[in-house]
Amino acid sequence: MGDRPLASNFISEYFGSDELRDLGILHVGNNVKISRNCTIVGLQNISIGDNVRIDSYNLILAKRGTLSIGSNVHIEPFSSLVAHFGINIGDYCTISHGVRLFTASADYNGDFFTNIFPEDQYQSPISGSITLEEHVIIGANSVVLPKVVLSEGCAIGALSLVRSSVDPW
């Protein structure tokens, strides 16, 4: 049976709280699991509470800003958290598969260029923090843009584009 994969090839590996402390995370609570298949930049700017799981193939960019994750949070696979201007995730939140949280974006109103190559005078980036208060769930493949607060208890449906803040519950 030499050509068959070993069962261990199918077991996802996670960094635990102690390993994350050794790697230089800003703060990590107990029972935290981050898949070894994630790409994380800026570990020194990330704080995580207790009972958090971050699954495979997530992209987390926190080199230029901070990422704060509360307790009892699940971030499902293939999501992107771009925290250049800060992301705060409250307790009991779920970020479903493929969600994108962008704290910076080009201005698409037609008056400016939308890429990074022209001089600054031809750009008007939109930037600001994103906050998820407690008990927020964001459905699969949704996008949350800068300067948004998802208030306590929000449920964002799959494939949503969130451009403005949402009231509680």
pLDDT digits (tens, 9 = 90+) for 89-124: 999 999 999 999 999 987 777 777 777 667 777 777
pTM: 0.90
What pLDDT score was predicted for residue 121?
A: 77
Is residue 2 a part of any domain in this protein?
A: no
Is residue 169 a part of any domain in this protein?
A: no
Q: Which residues share a beta bridge with 59?
A: 39, 80
Q: Is the pLDDT of residue 125 over 90?
A: no
Is residue 77 a part of any domain in this protein?
A: yes
Is residue 17 a part of any domain in this protein?
A: no
Is residue 50 a part of any domain in this protein?
A: yes
List all residues 6 or more positions away from 15 whose beta carbon is below 8 Å from its beta carbon. 23, 33, 34, 35, 36
The total number of structural domains that make up the chain: 1
What pLDDT score was predicted for residue 10?
A: 61
Is residue 69 a part of any domain in this protein?
A: yes
Q: Is the pLDDT of residue 2 over 60?
A: no
Range of the domain at 132: 24-162
What dihedral do alpha carbons 19, 20, 26, 32 form, nearest 10°? -120
Is residue 13 a part of any domain in this protein?
A: no
What is the CATH number for 114? 2.160.10.10
